[in-house]
Structure 1
Amino acid sequence: MKEMTPVRKINIFLNIGIYASLLCLFVSLYTAREFMVWVFLTLGLLFLIVRNLSFILEKMEKIDFGR
């Protein structure tokens, strides 16, 4: 089992946020609330961007820049 680094812990919460946003997005689509669709779509995309940035930072931590 991999050790739980702070970045990995954050990624777990970001994944939960992405899936919760998708669920709320589909509920908003079903109930035809256009404003809420845009809110949850934007929120889900922000979670996705932050998760990808944290993944890149985690990979950069493992690179030794010759120090």
Structure 2
Amino acid sequence: MGRDSGREQGRDPAAAKFWTLQGIRLAGIATAMAGAAGVAEKLAMPQWAAGLLLAAGVGIYFGLPVALARKWKAER
């Protein structure tokens, strides 16, 4: 399998990576919002868990897409 194996099957690898990054960002937003709702006591959860969710969501939103992009760039 070569680098162009995705294109041979009619798939654009750049589009797949783009949508993967968008899905990760959406998951980060959802996680952060759940944590924020827990901190505001709109969801029943311990405060430490809400803070952890909020921090994890921010980390997912900002950190994971950058790390994946670097990994994909290094694979060239």
Identical residues among aligned pairs (%): 5
Q: TM-score, length-normalised on structure 2? A: 0.55
The superposition leaves residues 8-56 of structure 1 with CA deviations (integer Å, 9 ceiling, x where unpaired) of 2221111111110121121011108412223313431442322111122
- Number of residue pairs the alignment of both structures matches: 59
**Counterparts of 2:35 and 2:53, CA distance in 1:** 5
Q: TM-score, length-normalised on structure 1? A: 0.61
The structure, 1 or 2, with the larger RCO (C-alpha pairs under 8 Å, 6+ apart) is 1
From 8, 11, 30, give the equivalent of 2:21.
Answer: 11
Written as runs of structure 1 = structure 2, the 5 A alignment for 1:1-67 is 3-4=14-15, 6-31=16-41, 33-47=46-60, 48-58=62-72, 60=73
Q: Aligned Cα RMSD in Å?
A: 2.7
Gaps of 5+ in 1: none
